[in-house]
Homo-oligomer: A and B are copies of this chain.
Amino acid sequence: MSGRLGVVVLAGERAEGMRSALPPALHPVAGVPAARYAIDAALALSPERIAVAVADEAEARAALAINGPRFVPQPEGTGAGAAIARCREALAGCDAVLVAWGDAPLAESDLLRALLEARGGAPLAVAAADGRAGPWCADAAWLWERMETAGADPPRSLASEAPVTVAAEATVIGRIDDRASLAAAETAMRRRLIAGHLAAGVTFRDPATVYVDRGVRLAAETTVEPNCHLYGATEVAAGAVIGPGATLRNARVGAGSRVLHSVVEDSTVGARTVVGPFAHVRDGAAIGDGCEVHNYAEVKNSAVGDGVKMHHFGYLGDADVGAGANIGAGAVTVNFDGRAKHRTHIGARAFVGCDTMLIAPVSVGEGAFTAAGAVVTRDVAAGALVAGVPARELPRGGA
């Protein structure tokens, strides 16, 4: 393991069996392109240099979303040998070369590290299972000389070298080369990720029907009911219950909250808040603590204070809602006038009546009350009561 390490991740080869324009290494597995697993496993070894052989540089850069490695285009139809040869310049000065497959996402850094250690001073070490080769590691000088003399395909020509071998599991070094093996890799990765969450104290009523992306974080004592999809950079705090039937994408859910039969995207939900069933929180919405966002409630790009109730269908878009406000059934922030979007301000403890249309930009004062069916075109003063189409202020009844 001495010397400077260079890594090649092969991510440009296509596979006929995929019937896809995209190389297998760029197909997502648990929410990230397969090749990210090989790259991240290699980066855990702190290599001196890392090159990723790709079919199309722009496509790969966009998919892999990582800046460290050098992307080396690999001409269509060429094999691993040609790809590695093209990476030689990017690895200049390295003493050892580690080659990993971008379409084999289940191989982890432990295996790569074992390869480096097992090689010692030998020219070559190969991870193998059932006679099939996985990632391998070679002395750089030896490799480059061999490749010049022995032809273009190092894995095949090197196989006759009787190298040091490291035994691996077939599923771990298995490559994706059709949609069935892609699905199998996804399933294996999901099991691995969920095993980690189980060990950390998360309850899954059925681990087989929960889909958790690689970047998801779940606190101990959370429960995930079946048929849930936790995607992207989702984060769930202790005691929350997710599902059944929830989709979270880049969502942050606070302690003790519930999300069921709902979709939360690119948004945060506070503590002890219930979302759903059939709610949709999206596009940078921030829901407070102790809120009730229930049936057919849609909230977009809005800041919703603590204790707000929105129990029935309705739409809050581009709105700021004060604590304790009540949003009636069918109430809508009319945020788009056909040309531009405008914001709506709803004060604390305001009561927005059923079917009230708030024509933005507009403001409803603290503790104000809009009657059912009101079309609010002008600001409503704090504590005022408005009604009608368009809404007019009325004296507020006693009691």
Task: Write the residues of chain A forming the contact surface with B, with a CB cutoff of 8 angstroms.
Answer: 17-21, 27, 178-180, 182-183, 186-187, 190, 195, 197-209, 211, 220-221, 225-227, 229, 244-245, 247, 260-261, 263, 277-278, 280, 295-296, 298, 312-315, 326, 328-330, 332, 334, 336, 338-339, 351, 353-355, 357, 359, 369, 371-373, 375, 388-389, 399
Contacts and interface: CB of A to CB of B under 8 A. Distances in A.
A381 B72 CA distance: 60
A198 B177 CA distance: 11
Contact of A355 (B186, B296, B328, B357): B357
Nearest to A353: B334
Given A183-B207, A205-B211, A261-B263, 12 more contacts: A27-B203, A179-B198, A179-B199, A179-B203, A183-B203, A208-B208, A229-B244, A312-B332, A328-B336, A332-B354, A334-B354, A357-B372
Given A179-B203, A206-B183, A277-B263, A312 B298 contact: yes
Contacts of A208: 187, 208
Contacts of A199: 17, 178-180
B375 A375 contact: no
A31 to B, nearest CB: 9
21 contacts: A18-B201, A178-B199, A187-B208, A190-B206, A206-B211, A227-B245, A229-B245, A244-B247, A260-B263, A280-B295, A313-B314, A315-B330, A326-B338, A334-B372, A354-B357, A355-B355, A355-B375, A357-B372, A357-B373, A373-B375, A388-B389
